[in-house]
Amino acid sequence: MRNKILSLIFIFYILVSFSAKVFCLEIAEVSILSNKDYLNIGEEVEITVFIENAKLVAYNFELSFDSEKLELVYKEENSNVKENRILTLWYEIEGGKKAKINEIEKYVFRAKKEGNVDFKVEGEFYNSTGELLETEYKSKEIQISNLESEEIENDLKQNTNDDSLNQNIDNEENILNETVDEENNLEEKINVEINENREASVSNTEKITNNIVENEDLKNKNIIINEINPSESYVLEENNISQEENLESNIQKNNANLETLRIDREGLIPEFKPEIYKYYLTVPKEIENLEIEVVPQNKNASIEISGNNQLVDGLNIIKIKVISEDKSKVNVYELQVTKTVDLESANTNLQTLAIENAMLNPSFDNNITSYSVEVANSVENLRLLAIPENENASVEISGDTNLKEGRNELKIVVTAQNKFTKKEILIDVYRRNEVEEEEYEKRQEDNAQKIEEAYNIGNNYKINEMASTEEIDKNLNKQSNRNFLYMAIVVLMVILSGVLGIIVYKIYLKK
């Protein structure tokens, strides 16, 4: 019994100390907020970077998004865009008077392709005393759908089925001929109504027509309706919708891409994307067949799958042929599947992949086979470091010399120890021209100066010529008082846990 009580006291002491420690930590939470979680293609969404539990005087962070599905339409001047990343730098130089709380940056994006989009943020954030904050990050996901064309089609059907609209238009033409003499008296009123209603859609015209039928002054109102010529507006709208539908239909009929690709084994490299056509997989010797599930982007496209049954030892090539609805385009997705008892001999992973004076985008990962990189105009040849995980594997590099200005394709082929398992890594290398190089160097100089000033805030904050010494001292005192309070809470909880232990022990002795 005594041992149990002592054990409970010890556990209580640990829990109290841990809780006090967690309570005392000042952790800022950086999250991403949006004014819409669901939007259609062509609509805009506002993204806000939000921070809790902190008052900021400087930050330097990166917001990543899917540039294939979203287009950036608004950002502040302190942000730069690099493909699918937004680099944002800000610092405050007035002694904390303009420190930021909660909402720190806003961006506006326009949807251009359906699918799910993840926003992620990561960076460094400094509080009002210039200290680097410990931060937690929360990502945000939004969904883009393509409902715009369906809504237009529904509106068109609704207006087309409205027989009363055409009947009223015919009646209006007859009434106009009988009431020409009244037109001069209503000229001013007609002009006002014309300007307002010319901007109206077919649905607005329908509402006006229905109101006319119920209005006692049918003749005068019908003059206004005929002046704006609703039949011509209706035909024009119908033609525009028809052209959009035809264009979309032609694009869909020519679509030979997959929407999804799933197999009944884990380990597919890289992760499936419709625009990537080559994949790699290693399976153990006992696997005979692979179940493959595919869905085309155009539901009317044809699909042919070959090579996924009766797998042989060694290399197997599985081909998924997607034929567009109009038969004008064919895309072939290739899965190179190695069946082996010795998985290590089929290892095509790299231990290291790096390019001198350049940064891969995205960062190197063995599950990614497509990268991009930008180099200076002075770089004609690249120096790469590509080391395989298996020292018996080999690496072959091509396209790393004689770079031209603009885009270049660099290819890395890793051949495994077994000599037949291969993995191809493609790098899109962009060499800047002279004009782009000058602009890049200027941006780098400006950014370097800003970053240096931002990083020096913590050390030089008190001697900043424009800073308010009184405000800084006040912030330091607040921080000191807060730390003292946290320490006092810890000490108090430790004392209380000890007192409680003594009381429990004495009760036990009495019993």
CATH number (domain holding residue 58): 2.60.40.680
> From CA 476, how far away is CA 470, in angstroms rounded?
10
Residues 199 and 121 in one domain: no
pLDDT at residue 376 above 50? yes
- 464 lies in a domain? no
Confidence of residue 421 (pLDDT cuts 50, 70, 90): very high
- 456 lies in a domain? no
What does the buried/exposed string (b/e) look like for 309-326 if buried means 16 or more CB atoms within 10 Å of the residue's CB?
eebeeebbebebebbbbb
Of the residues 211, 234, 252, which one is the last residue of a structural domain? 252
Residues 330 and 398 in one domain: no
Higher pLDDT, 127 or 436: 436
Residues 78 and 99 in one domain: yes
Question: Which contacts (CB < 8 Å, 24+ apart) does range 433-440 have?
Answer: 433/377, 433/405, 433/406, 434/377, 436/377, 437/376, 437/377, 437/378, 440/376
**348: enclosing H helix or E strand:** none
Residues 47 and 120 in one domain: yes
CB 260 within 8 A of CB 272: yes
Give Cβ neighbours of residue 418 (< 8 Å, ≥ 6 apart): 314, 338, 340, 342, 345, 346
Torsion of CA 447, 453, 456, 458, to 10 degrees: -110
pLDDT at residue 225, as a whole number? 40
pLDDT at residue 332 above 60? yes
CB 415 within 8 A of CB 393: yes
Residues 99 and 166 in one domain: no
Of the residues 398, 432, 466, which one is the last residue of a structural domain? 432
Residues 317 and 373 in one domain: no
Q: How far does CA 506 lie from the centroid of its chain?
A: 62
pLDDT at residue 150 above 60? no
- Tell me the per-residue pLDDT of 263-274, one tens digit each, with 9 for 90 and over: 988 899 999 999
The tokens describing 280, both together, are: 């790699």
Specify the amino acid at residue 450. K
Most confident residue range from 93-107, 235-249, 344-358: 344-358
User: Region 20-31: what's the mean pLDDT?
Assistant: 62
* 273 half-sphere exposure, CB direction, 13 A CA radius: 13
pLDDT at residue 506, as a whole number? 73
Angle at which helices 230-253 and 163-178 pack, to 10 degrees? 150
Residues 359 and 297 in one domain: no
Residues 70 and 161 in one domain: no
pLDDT at residue 338 above 90? yes
CATH number at residue 361: 2.60.40
- 501 lies in a domain? no
Residues 128 and 51 in one domain: yes
pLDDT at residue 9, as a whole number? 59
- Tell me the per-residue pLDDT of 271-314, one tens digit each, with 9 for 90 and over: 999 999 999 999 998 999 999 999 999 999 999 999 999 999 99
Identify the domain containing residue 389 by its residue range. 350-432
- 266 lies in a domain? yes
pLDDT at residue 479, as a whole number? 54
219: three-class secondary structure by DSSP? helix
User: Region 335-361: what's the mean pLDDT?
Assistant: 92
Helix/strand/coil (H/E/C) assignment for every residue in 271-305: CCCCCCCEEEEEECCCCCCCCEEEEECCCCCEEEE
Instruction: Using DSSP bridges, classify how beta strands 38-40 and 140-145 pair: parallel, antiparallel or unpaired.
Output: parallel
pTM attached to this predicted model: 0.45
> From CA 108, how far away is CA 17, in angstroms rounded?
45
Confidence of residue 81 (pLDDT cuts 50, 70, 90): confident
Q: What is the number of structural domains in the chain? A: 4
- 508 lies in a domain? no
- Tell me the per-residue pLDDT of 160-217, one tens digit each, with 9 for 90 and over: 444 444 454 455 455 444 544 554 454 455 444 445 444 443 344 444 344 434 444 4
Least confident segment among 33-47, 236-250, 297-311, 358-372:
236-250
- 459 lies in a domain? no
What does the buried/exposed string (b/e) look like for 252-276 if buried means 16 or more CB atoms within 10 Å of the residue's CB?
bbebbbbbebebeeeebbbeeebee
Residues 131 and 35 in one domain: yes
pLDDT at residue 449, as a whole number? 73
Least confident segment among 128-137, 370-379, 483-492:
483-492
- 333 lies in a domain? yes
> Mean pLDDT score of the chain, rounded to an integer?
76
pLDDT at residue 107 above 80? yes
Of the residues 146, 178, 200, which one is the last residue of a structural domain? 146
Residues 357 and 402 in one domain: yes
> From CA 239, how far away is CA 243, in angstroms rounded?
6
From the list 147, 152, 127, 125, the residue with the least C-alpha distance to 62 is 125
Higher pLDDT, 174 or 384: 384
111: three-class secondary structure by DSSP? strand
Confidence of residue 481 (pLDDT cuts 50, 70, 90): low
- 5 lies in a domain? no
pLDDT at residue 418 above 90? yes
Helix/strand/coil (H/E/C) assignment for every residue in 144-204: EECCHHHHHHHHHHHHHCCHHHHHHHHHHHHHHHHCHHHCHHHHHHHHHHHHHHCCCCHHH
pLDDT at residue 92, as a whole number? 74
Residues 33 and 141 in one domain: yes
Specify the amino acid at residue 511. K
pLDDT at residue 119 above 60? yes
